[in-house]
Structure 1
Amino acid sequence: MAYELIAAKREEMGTGASRRLRHAGKLPAVVYGNGAAESIVLDHNTIFYALKEEAFHSAILDLVIDGQKQAVILRDFQNHPYKQQVLHIDFQRVDLNQKVNVKIQLHFVNADQSEAVKLQGAKISHIINEVEVRALPGDLPKFIEVDLSAIKAGEAVHLSDLKLPAGVEIAALVRGEDAAIALASA
């Protein structure tokens, strides 16, 4: 799914200006990387509902600032502690020909079909729910599927056990770290 976000340059800066924007249903934001940082303003509700979609967090977004389209990825956002409100959001410009590091969600499947659960009465614990990958922006997956059907009681699934799309590598494995993702304990 392609996301296109319409934004405008933000002229007023500071806490008071940001509060006025939020009160008017707008969202202050910043775009950085590959040039100077730009302060922008977006429609709050568009971003609020897009953030609820998992694909939005790992997709290449088309950000249109005053008619100019840029390829960006979501880097960070802040929510209000108790209101349903996004306070601020950060985007990073990306070069479609250079690899980027992005956190991707893990989807655990087939746990109920594993020998550990069906025959050995084990419980499967998810240790990691997202993993940092390095890939070209066009090769980024929406999620990585973790198949738990072959796990046995007392065993763990590690990062090296994941099946990755072509052109995608796990940053921790490049550093030599093979952490456990899921554990079947009796």
Structure 2
Amino acid sequence: MKIIGFPRKEQGTGASRRLRIAGQTPGIVYGGTAAPVNIALDHNALYHALKKETFHASILDLEIEGKVEQVLLRDFQVHAFKQLVLHVDFQRVDASQKLHTKVPLHFVNAEVSPAVKLSSGIISHVQSDLDIQCLPKNLPEFIEVDLANLQVGQSVHLADLKLPVGVTAVSQENLTIATASVPAGQVSAEGEAAAGDAEAK
């Protein structure tokens, strides 16, 4: 994805407020060997980009005055109740340096899993993203979690995931990624039915 930034000379609360009134969002680019640069971005373009998952987990091409550099979205602040992006931070990417970032998890095949198909179970997503390390060229947009073989009472753990080549998980723990269980109401209904059968006998 490509984004356009503009150099921002003025700083401070008043300058940022004027930028926002003019339909722009203040931001900063830092990292690498170059000095941090204060920038401004078109607010509407940024607001819509932030709604896309790939914007949060992909290397972006940031163009400032005709010069393009690769960056990662590192942080952003939004207004408590207005549809307003207050500030955004980007970090420069060095092709030879490993990144430490989060990527989203995509859960697939839940509907064909024994937990859902045979037991009418509910699958809970314990994690929605994963902390990873990799070189920029290996950065995945997402990591797939295959639930096809999940049974009721079982869980999918970090060790069960097939991470892309060159990608390692940051966590040293075998995190729980998803679990399958039978709904509480269904369990009690089955228990009452079993008790009723026992009494009938």
Paired residues of 1:77 and 1:86 also in contact (CA < 8 A): yes
Measured in 2, the distance between the counterparts of 1:181 and 1:49 equals 29
Measured in 2, the distance between the counterparts of 1:63 and 1:123 equals 42
SS of the residue 1:103 aligns to:
strand
Cα deviation, 1:48-68, whole Å, max 9, x if unaligned, reads 111111111111111112222
Structure 2 partner of 1:106: 105
SS of the residue 1:125 aligns to:
strand
Aligned amino acid, residue 184 of structure 1: A
Structure 2 partner of 1:76: 75
Count residues with an aligned counterpart: 181
Q: How does 1:87-102 map to 2 (within 5 A)?
A: 87-102=86-101
Measured in 1, the distance between the counterparts of 2:43 and 2:110 equals 38
Cα deviation, 1:58-100, whole Å, max 9, x if unaligned, reads 1111111222211100001111111111110000001012110
Residue 121 (structure 1) shift:
2.8
Structure whose alpha-carbon radius of gyration is higher: 2
SS of the residue 2:80 aligns to:
coil
- Share of identical aligned residues, percent? 54
Measured in 2, the distance between the counterparts of 1:54 and 1:162 equals 20
User: Does 2:21 correspond to 1:23?
Assistant: yes
Q: How does 1:50-89 map to 2 (within 5 A)?
A: 50-89=49-88
Structure 2 partner of 1:129: 128
Paired residues of 1:60 and 1:138 also in contact (CA < 8 A): no
Structure 1 partner of 2:146: 147
SS of the residue 2:20 aligns to:
helix
4+ residue runs over 4 A deviation:
none
Segments of structure 1 that go 5 or more residues without pairing to the other structure are: none
Measured in 1, the distance between the counterparts of 2:119 and 2:26 equals 52
Q: TM-score, normalised to structure 2's length?
A: 0.87
Q: TM-score, normalised to structure 1's length?
A: 0.94
Measured in 1, the distance between the counterparts of 2:169 and 2:122 equals 26
Structure 2 partner of 1:9: 7
Measured in 1, the distance between the counterparts of 2:114 and 2:174 equals 24
Richer in strand (by share): 1
Residue 107 (structure 1) shift:
0.8
